[in-house]
Structure 1
Amino acid sequence: METLLGVVQYILNLGPTVILPLAIFTIAVVFRVPVAKALRSAITVGIGFVGVNLVISLLSDNLGVAAQKMVERFGLNLTVVDAGWPAAAAAAWASPVAAVLIPICLIVNIILIFFKFTKTLDIDIWNYWHFIAAGAVGFIVTEGNWFFAIGCAIVFEMVVLKVADMAAPMVEEFYGLKGVSLPTGSTVAYGVIGVPIGWVISKIPVIKDIEISPETIQKRFGIFGEPMMMGLIIGMGMGLLAGYDIGDTFKLGISLGAVMLLMPRMVKILMEGLIPISEAAREFLKERYKDRELYLGLDAALSIGHPANISTGLILVPITLLLAVIIPGNKVLPFGDLATIPFYVAYIVASRKGNILHSVITGTIVIALALLMATDFAPVHTQMMQGLDQFSDLGQSISSLDTGGNFLKWLVLKASQLFQSVF
Structure 2
Amino acid sequence: MQSLLNGIQYVLGLGPTVILPIAIFIIGLFFRLSVGKALKSAITVGIGFVGINLVVGLLSDNLGVAAQQMVERFGLELTVIDAGWPSAAAAAWASPVAAILIPIIIAVNLFLIFIKFTKTLDIDIWNFHHFMAVGAVGYIVTGSFIWAIFVAVLMEVITLKIADKAAPMVQEFYGLPGISLPTGSTVSYGLIGMPIGWVISKIPGLKDIEISPETIQRRFGVFGEPMMMGLVIGIVIGLLAGYDPGAALQLGISLGAVMLLMPRMVKILMEGLIPISESARTFLQSRYKDRELYLGLDSALAIGHPANISTGLILVPITLLLAVIIPGNKVLPFGDLSSIPFYTAYIVASRKGNIFHSVITGTIVIALALLMATNFAPVHTEMMQGLDQFSKLGSEISSLDTGGASLKWLFLKLSQLVAPFFN
Q: TM-score, normalised by structure 1?
A: 0.99
1:31 aligns with 2:31: yes
Give, as a single letter, the amino acid of the residue that structure 1 aligns with 2:221: G
| Per-residue deviation, 1:117 | 1.0
Match of 1:175 in 2: 174
Match of 1:420 in 2: 419
Match of 2:100 in 1: 100
Match of 1:378 in 2: 377
| Mapping 1:250-399, distance limit 5 Å | 250-399=249-398
| Per-residue deviation, 1:178 | 1.0
The 1-side partners of 2:88 and 2:306 are apart by: 28
Cα deviation 1:8-62 (Å, max 9, x = unaligned): 1100000000000000000000101011111111000000000000000010011
| Per-residue deviation, 1:422 | 4.3
Q: Which runs of 5+ in 1 are unaligned?
A: none
Give, as a single letter, the amino acid of the residue that structure 1 aligns with 2:29: V
| Per-residue deviation, 1:172 | 1.1
Match of 2:74 in 1: 74
Match of 2:22 in 1: 22
Give, as a single letter, the amino acid of the residue that structure 1 aligns with 2:182: P
The 1-side partners of 2:286 and 2:177 are apart by: 18
**Secondary structure in structure 2 of the residue aligned to 1:270:** helix
Match of 2:9 in 1: 9
Give, as a single letter, the amino acid of the residue that structure 2 aligns with 1:387: G
Give, as a single letter, the amino acid of the residue that structure 1 aligns with 2:154: V
| Per-residue deviation, 1:173 | 1.1
Give, as a single letter, the amino acid of the residue that structure 2 aligns with 1:146: F
**Secondary structure in structure 1 of the residue aligned to 2:32:** coil
| Per-residue deviation, 1:180 | 0.9
The 2-side partners of 1:276 and 1:376 are apart by: 44
Match of 1:193 in 2: 192
Match of 2:399 in 1: 400
**Secondary structure in structure 2 of the residue aligned to 1:264:** helix
How many equivalent residue pairs?
422
| Per-residue deviation, 1:236 | 0.4
| Per-residue deviation, 1:116 | 1.1
Farther-moved stretch of structure 1 (149-158 vs 2-11):
2-11
Match of 1:162 in 2: 161
Give, as a single letter, the amino acid of the residue that structure 1 aligns with 2:400: L
Q: Percent identity?
A: 78
The 2-side partners of 1:300 and 1:73 are apart by: 33
**Secondary structure in structure 2 of the residue aligned to 1:206:** coil
Give, as a single letter, the amino acid of the residue that structure 2 aligns with 1:141: V
Q: TM-score, normalised by structure 2?
A: 0.99
The 1-side partners of 2:382 and 2:210 are apart by: 45
The 2-side partners of 1:341 and 1:263 are apart by: 15
The 1-side partners of 2:393 and 2:69 are apart by: 22
**Secondary structure in structure 1 of the residue aligned to 2:207:** helix
The 2-side partners of 1:179 and 1:63 are apart by: 33
**Secondary structure in structure 1 of the residue aligned to 2:364:** helix
Q: Which runs of 5+ in 2 are unaligned?
A: none
1:42 aligns with 2:42: yes
The 1-side partners of 2:109 and 2:88 are apart by: 23
The 2-side partners of 1:395 and 1:2 are apart by: 31
Give, as a single letter, the amino acid of the residue that structure 1 aligns with 2:42: A
Match of 1:129 in 2: 129
| Per-residue deviation, 1:392 | 1.4
| Mapping 1:84-95, distance limit 5 Å | 84-95=84-95
Match of 1:227 in 2: 226
Give, as a single letter, the amino acid of the residue that structure 2 aligns with 1:75: G
The 1-side partners of 2:179 and 2:355 are apart by: 24
| Mapping 1:52-67, distance limit 5 Å | 52-67=52-67
Give, as a single letter, the amino acid of the residue that structure 1 aligns with 2:253: I
Give me the CA root mean square deviation: 0.7
Give, as a single letter, the amino acid of the residue that structure 2 aligns with 1:128: F
Cα deviation 1:350-386 (Å, max 9, x = unaligned): 0000000000000000000000000000000000000
Cα deviation 1:254-312 (Å, max 9, x = unaligned): 00000000000000000010011111111111111111111111111111111001000
1:153 aligns with 2:152: yes
The 2-side partners of 1:147 and 1:279 are apart by: 39
Match of 2:113 in 1: 113
Cα deviation 1:84-142 (Å, max 9, x = unaligned): 00000000000000000000000000111111111111111111111111100000011
Cα deviation 1:299-345 (Å, max 9, x = unaligned): 11111111001000000001000000000000000000001000100
Give, as a single letter, the amino acid of the residue that structure 2 aligns with 1:121: L
The 1-side partners of 2:334 and 2:271 are apart by: 33
| Per-residue deviation, 1:2 | 2.0
Give, as a single letter, the amino acid of the residue that structure 1 aligns with 2:256: G
**Secondary structure in structure 1 of the residue aligned to 2:312:** helix
**Secondary structure in structure 2 of the residue aligned to 1:416:** helix
Give, as a single letter, the amino acid of the residue that structure 2 aligns with 1:390: Q
